[in-house]
Structure 1
Amino acid sequence: MAGSLFDTSAMEKPRILILGGTTEARELASRLAADERYDTAISLAGRTADPKPQPVKTRIGGFGGTDGLARFLHDEKIALLVDATHPFAARISHNATEAAERTGTRLFALRRPEWQTEPGDRWTSVESVAEAVDALGAVPRRVFLAIGRQEAFHFEAAPQHSYIIRSVDPVTPPLNLPDQQAILATGPFAEADEAALFQARKIDVIVAKNSGGSATYGKIAAARRLGIEVIMVERRKPADVPTVGRCDEALDLIAHWLAPA
């Protein structure tokens, strides 16, 4: 197949496509890269300006919705699709579910477990970023935004607050807010460093998404230590697809589903 992402000389190997962009996706790709039973590739959305090199064949960019992904799965003869995208990447997860069903491609999701409240946490749980804006209230506060850059525009509706906005890449277009500061950084973030940052910036409240994992949990632990409120955007109910929470579980499922006849 001309222009194929996969090894056309190894058609007998089951082809695995990982929808990536997370630490878990990279770990799974690394484990599969050394497994000669499979021909593995990873796809990245391309939202990060300088993504880290991946250990397997890589494509970057969207597919063109459900139709485009279904066409890719069919044309590339994908045996297994692994949705290891960010827990809040709802659109691509929806497209993956629809495309897999349409093409008869096996699909499972690799999702890190959600964070759970612990004694001392001051969480206000909301269902969306728009609800998080309302939860800040009318009284001006110093807000630490840790939701990424895609939905930061919602906070233009609450210009009375002072914002510290942390993201991997700059928010574009720039937010129309009178008091904002940007921090460009990539995790992991240690609890002690987060606590020092919150104290230095006199943070009153943190807005975060319940993405789970350890890389960005430092802000949650630091907020607990300092008694800072966290407005937590909770995950939506996941699609009805098989889901595992750890790389080892994913590998076991792959071995079971793609075992030779």
Structure 2
Amino acid sequence: MRHVLILGGTTEGRSLAEALVAGAPPGTSERPRNDVVYPLRVTSSLAGRVARPVLPPGEVRVGGFGGAQGLAAWLREHDVDALIDATHPFAETMTAHAALAAATCHVPLLRLRRPGWVPVEGDDWRPVASLEAAAQALADGPWERVFLTTGRMGLAVFAHLDRLRFLVRSVDPPEPPYPRLLDTVLDRGPFTLHGERELLRQYAIDVVVTKDSGGAATAAKLAAAREAGLPVVMVRRPATPEGVETAASVAGAFDWLRRRFA
């Protein structure tokens, strides 16, 4: 039985696990006949940073591996035939560990990463290279109320900006250090355009800070900012490690596995 390890925690990782366990490509209900992918063992690995994650079907493990060496040991111990890195587009460390572990164990690796957002007419994006650069842009800018949607794990970068008031949204409550003036909304996407409009209005937001995560689940904030004429400080994505194959969709990852196992 082939064994696929999915480094998940994203919508794409969960959807791929669902497709593989069901035995059918995304968007279909019938299992392909004589498909060389099956029978298949599917394990999804979650980082464990969310208290109540939505669990995918198949086997699930929670927690870190102990770096690239720990992941390599797990791949060997559990006879993994293919590794799918479906972590967040900004999970730079985990992606690097996956590339090193896969190369060490000679296990085929695919990076499943949703396409990034593309600005449209009316957008006022201010691209920056990192969270630190985003914090500097806020320090230098004229803004006072910030909708910060870069995730609760990076709040320490903005903790020194005492003159600004931040609105932060996350699944679980943030932990210090974080900015002194902080409003928190606990919620899980996907988010609606109406809801994002109301947040911007209720908290009198005058700038949005986000990462180029891509996908539809959190894209409504960009449309709401566009409608309100607000600037968006956009943190660019890190690059995929050199030589790693990529797929932009769950269907693409499914087909990659089919070709690999043929």
Same-fold call, TM cutoff 0.5:
yes
Residues in 2 aligned to 1:67 and 1:25: alpha-carbon distance in whole angstroms: 23
**Maintained 8 Å contact 1:133/1:157:** no
Deviations 1:117-149 (A, max 9, x none): 111001000011110011113445100110111
Highest RCO, 1 vs 2 (Cα 8 Å, sep ≥ 6): 2
What corresponds to 2:12 in structure 1?
24
Shift of 1:173: 2.4
Deviation for aligned residue 1:192: 1.7
1:116 Cα deviation from its structure 2 partner: 0.7
Q: Provide the rounded CA distance (Å) in 1 between the counterparts of 2:69 and 2:136.
A: 36
- Choose the corresponding residue for 1:168, options 148, 167, 171: 171
Aligned letter for 1:157? Answer: H
TM superposition shift of 1:175: 2.2
Contact 1:207/1:230 (8 A) holds in 2? yes
After TM superposition, the score normalised by the length of structure 1 is 0.92
Out of 200, 203, 217, the position equivalent to 2:202 is 200
How many Å separate the matches in 1 of 2:15 and 2:179? 38
Which amino acid counterpart does residue 70 of structure 1 have in structure 2? A
Determine the structure 2 residue equivalent to 1:81: 83
Match of 1:244 in 2: 247
The correspondence for 2:226, drawn from 224, 227, 230, is 224
Name the amino acid aligned to 1:239: P
Partner of 2:111, secondary structure, is: strand
Name the SS for the 1:151 alignment partner. helix
Counterpart position of 1:6: none
Structure 1: 5+ residue runs without aligned partners? 1-12
**Rounded Cα–Cα distance in structure 1 between residues aligned with 2:66 and 2:75:** 13
SS of residue matched to 1:40: strand
Runs of 5+ consecutive residues of structure 2 not aligned to the other structure: 24-37
Deviations 1:148-206 (A, max 9, x none): 111111111211101111111111125251x2111111000011210121012110001
Moved more, 94-103 or 231-240: 231-240
Q: Is contact 1:140-1:160 (8 Å) kept?
A: no
**In structure 1, how many angstroms separate the alpha carbons of the residues matched to 2:179 and 2:203?**
21
Q: CA RMSD in A?
A: 1.1
Aligned to 2:151: 148
Encode CA deviations 1:27-80: one digit per residue, 9 max, x unaligned: 000000122421111000001011112211000000000110000001111000
| Cα offset, 1:84, TM superposition | 0.2
Whole-angstrom CA distance in 1 between matches of 2:162 and 2:124: 24
**In 1, distance between residues paired with 2:215 and 2:179?**
32
Q: Which amino acid aligns with 2:11?
A: T
Identity across matched positions, percent: 41
**Separation in 1 of the partners of 2:200 and 2:179?**
23
Aligned residues: 246
